[in-house]
Amino acid sequence: MSNDGAQIYSVGEISTLIRQTLEDEFPYVRIRGEISGFTRAASGHLYFSLKDEKDVLDAVCWRGAAAKLQAKPEDGLEIIATGRLTSYGPRSRYQLVVDRVEVAGEGALLKLLENRKKKLAAEGLFDETAKKELPYLPRVIGVVTSPTGAVIRDILHRLEDRFPVHVLVWPVMVQGDGAAEQIAAAIDGFDKIKPGDKGDKKVPRPDLIIVARGGGSIEDLWAFNEEVVVRAAADCTIPLISAVGHETDTTLIDYAADLRAPTPTAAAEMAVPVKSELAGAVMDEAARLARLAPRITVARKTMLDGLGRGLPDLTHMVGTAAQRLDDWNARLGGSLKGGVERRLRRVAQSAGGLLSPAQRVSFAGRGLERSAGSLVRGMGAGITQRRSKLLQTERLLEGFSYQRVLDRGFVLLQGPDGGTITRAAKLKTGDDVTLQMADGRLGARITGKEPKNPKSKSKKQDMRQGKLL
């Protein structure tokens, strides 16, 4: 084992030395790069990487610092991160602990804005078919803007000049950290007021909402490009006018709103008509109606007179109808009397050809007697014929009965199981059998010995006869 005198460190010791060296050499750095792999842990800490064309640097932003960031980190955003370098011993990595984040120039913001616009448009938040029509004359207008500054004064003055209405102002921050959340909460708050539900403070539901802010740079207007604001505007059920910045300024809320106004003052002009012009138009219509009413009356009277001349004489029509009714009445009386007489004669003629009930009963009785006689005779002949046939069948069955065979000297042999024995092969020596004779039954047992030949006696008799040859 060689010993060159070099100091031996443990893993923990060398890791600590590396961390101290990094923190001492780079206590405060600003690094420019593009965010990649951004994640927000459940603890609130932010983890991401900063990359350029060649290298990647791990970065972490603790929860306390993350809540104070002016720009919200997200993938693809080019930023300038301020913090200190340190190392994470358990993974042998060095990383940047971020304290502050700045967007790296207007170009990066425009790129982020374009990507976000495409994403939200793909979700349908900017569809023209979802746009709501503005009310012609709103009674209550809700304004979401800063309570100080020229914007709210311009809107109130313009509304007062054109058509004074009830205005509700929801004060919010219009730039800086937390501005987007306040603007979204204000839009959602107006939308949650139910119609007719005035609540404890008697706040009516707005018929129209104006979201307004004065002009500024893209960084100043960035709160109106945040997703939370765009989604709140798209989900709002109350018609909404976006009036953010000057005519050339465009934010994402402009695409989600139902109408975009080039300036806050123009938004007030779009919200209400000019009261004096409206009153003048009403007066003009009233004067026109006053001029036209007599002419219309005369024209209608002339038309009515013309229609009246085209009608027939009602007195003549009623007289003619009454005369026709009298004629029909007279003809109807004669027709009824003649009709009744004709029907009476027809009934009398029909009655002459009818038989009385007694006659019908007598005829039916005689027919029944004839039918009954025929039935009795037929039944007697049928019974005689069937009795003769039955006797013939009885004699035929008697002739075929096995009892008659027994009378002629034959015997019915039955085996031990009661079955009839017709073959000697079915019996063996010792079997008990039954002999059925004409006058009774006898039991017997098979011995197996064949009886003496009965023909021996006949042979002796034949011997007595002698031989012919």
Residue-wise pLDDT for 162-183, tens only, equals: 999 999 999 999 988 789 999 9
Handedness of CA 444, 449, 455, 459 (dihedral sign): negative
What is the average pLDDT across 403-415?
79
Higher per-residue confidence, 454 vs 99 = 99
Q: Are residues 157 and 256 in the same domain?
A: yes
* C-alpha gyration radius of the chain: 64
Q: How far is CA 11 from CA 18, 93, 243, in A?
A: 11, 13, 61
Residues β-bridged to residue 78:
34
Query: Which residue among 272, 289, 308 closes a domain?
Result: 272
| pLDDT for residue 450 | 66
Q: Are residues 259 and 149 in the same domain?
A: yes
Does 455 score more than 80 pLDDT?
Answer: no
Does 133 score more than 60 pLDDT?
Answer: yes
Q: Which residues contact 304 (CB under 8 A, 6 or more apart)?
A: none
Q: Is residue 146 part of a domain?
A: yes
Written as six digits, the tokens of 347 are 């009934």
Query: Which band of pLDDT confidence, cut at 50, 70 and 90, is reported for residue 453?
Result: low
Does 346 score more than 90 pLDDT?
Answer: no
Higher per-residue confidence, 196 vs 460 = 196
The CATH number assigned to the domain holding 60 equals: 2.40.50.140
Q: Is residue 319 part of a domain?
A: no
Does 421 score more than 60 pLDDT?
Answer: yes
| pLDDT for residue 467 | 46
Q: Are residues 51 and 90 in the same domain?
A: yes
What is the average pLDDT across 31-46?
90
Q: Is residue 260 part of a domain?
A: yes
Does 458 score more than 60 pLDDT?
Answer: no
What is the average pLDDT across 346-371?
79
Global confidence as pTM: 0.50
Q: Is residue 335 part of a domain?
A: no
Q: Are residues 83 and 141 in the same domain?
A: no
Domain count, the chain: 3
Which residue range is the domain that position 66 belongs to? 11-104
Query: Which residue among 229, 256, 272 closes a domain?
Result: 272
Q: Are residues 138 and 261 in the same domain?
A: yes
What is the average pLDDT across 1-8?
68
What is the average pLDDT across 188-203?
77
| pLDDT for residue 198 | 52
Lowest model confidence (mean pLDDT) among 34-38, 359-363, 367-371, 460-464: 460-464
| pLDDT for residue 73 | 84
Query: Which band of pLDDT confidence, cut at 50, 70 and 90, is reported for residue 105?
Result: low
Does 248 score more than 80 pLDDT?
Answer: yes
| pLDDT for residue 197 | 55
What is the average pLDDT across 261-273?
93
* Tens of pLDDT, residues 146-165: 998 899 999 999 999 999 99
Highest-scoring range by mean pLDDT, 19-33, 127-141, 186-200, 372-386:
127-141
What is the average pLDDT across 449-462?
54
Q: Are residues 68 and 168 in the same domain?
A: no
Lowest model confidence (mean pLDDT) among 155-159, 300-304, 338-342: 338-342
Q: Are residues 88 and 177 in the same domain?
A: no
* Tens of pLDDT, residues 389-398: 898 888 888 7
Query: Which band of pLDDT confidence, cut at 50, 70 and 90, is reported for residue 309?
Result: confident
Percent of the chain with pLDDT over 90: 30
What is the average pLDDT across 443-449?
80
Q: Is residue 362 part of a domain?
A: no
Query: Which residue among 39, 69, 104 closes a domain?
Result: 104
* Tens of pLDDT, residues 58-69: 999 998 888 887
| pLDDT for residue 144 | 96
Q: Is residue 226 part of a domain?
A: yes
